[in-house]
């Protein structure tokens, strides 16, 4: 049984999110419930509501943790691509997204879950901001077309997400996965530069 005395001065909030992350890694979205998170911390479900206005807010905080873990992986991978052209860095971000989905499929289920309640703060780091910053480099100097930026971001994000889900669910062979990642991201790169 967890030591409840460690939860003074707001430590329970972090412990609840930590427990949610552990449950998500083990069981995916289905394992992340208020009751199970509270039990993992050795507290009542009512104790959760002293730190989160609703169960949805707790789930949003756990999902945010998953997104931030993924974003940190992206930033780490991108650091090795410093100095490369924007399209190559976007490819690194896409490959990182896919690698995270394949390495952490249960945790990944929270990354893209529909959010009924927004988190109480912005993601830090934020993967969408990273993609936008690189996409902005594809814009002609002195000219930013927000519609084109939004379309490029959607193309990059939806391609990486769709490919990640398909590979995770339907393509178990690592060689086939590598071939598909290379082929699809090459084509996406052509589209992004158009």
Buried b (16+ CB within 10 A) or exposed e, 162-182: ebbeebbeebeeeeebeebbe
The pLDDT tens digits for 72-110 are 999 999 998 989 999 999 999 999 999 999 999 999 999
How do residues 26-74 score in pLDDT, each as one tens digit? 999 999 999 999 999 999 999 999 999 999 999 999 999 999 999 999 9
DSSP letter for 50, please: T
The pLDDT assigned to 10 comes to: 64
Total residue count of the chain as it appears in this document: 194
What span, in angstroms and rounded, lies between the C-alpha atoms of 165 and 131?
Answer: 19
Taking residues 11-27, what's their average pLDDT? 96
Buried b (16+ CB within 10 A) or exposed e, 103-119: ebebbbbbbbbeeebeb
DSSP state of 9: G
State which H helix or E strand residue 133 sits in. helix 127-136
Question: 141, 142, 109: which is closest to 26 by C-alpha?
Answer: 109
Cα angle value 71/106/56 (rounded, 5°) = 80
pLDDT at residue 119, rounded to an integer: 87
pLDDT tops 80 at residue 4: no
Token digits of residue 147: 């519609």
What are the pLDDT digits (tens) for 131-186? 999 999 999 998 899 999 999 999 999 999 999 999 999 999 999 999 999 999 99
Does pLDDT of 1 surpass 50?
no
**Alpha-carbon span 85 to 193, nearest angstrom:** 11
Q: What mean pLDDT comes out for the span 101-127?
A: 92
At residue 194, the pLDDT reads 83
- Nearest of 115, 139, 27, 104 to residue 63 by alpha carbon: 115
Burial (CB < 10 A; 0-12, 13-18, 19+), residue 1, is exposed
């Amino acid at each position: 049984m967890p030591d409840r005395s460690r939860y003074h001065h707001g430590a329970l909030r972090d412990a609840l999110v930590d427990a949610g992350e552990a449950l998500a890694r083990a069981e995916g979205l289905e394992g992340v419930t208020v009751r199970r998170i509270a039990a993992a911390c050795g507290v009542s479900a009512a104790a959760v509501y002293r730190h989160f206005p609703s169960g949805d807010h707790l789930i949003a905080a756990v999902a945010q943790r998953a997104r931030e873990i993924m974003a940190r992986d992206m930033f780490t991978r991108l650091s090795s691509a410093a100095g490369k052209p924007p399209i190559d860095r976007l490819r690194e971000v896409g490959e990182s997204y896919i690698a995270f989905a394949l390495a952490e499929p249960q945790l990944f289920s929270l990354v893209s879950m529909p959010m009924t309640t927004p988190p109480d703060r912005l993601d830090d780091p934020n993967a969408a901001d990273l993609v936008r910053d690189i996409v902005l480099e594809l814009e002609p100097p002195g000219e930013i077309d927000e519609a084109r930026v939004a379309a490029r971001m959607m193309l990059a994000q939806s391609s990486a997400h769709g490919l990640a889900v398909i590979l995770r669910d339907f393509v178990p062979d690592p060689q086939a996965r590598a071939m598909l990642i290379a082929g699809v991201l090459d084509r996406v790169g052509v589209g992004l530069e158009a």
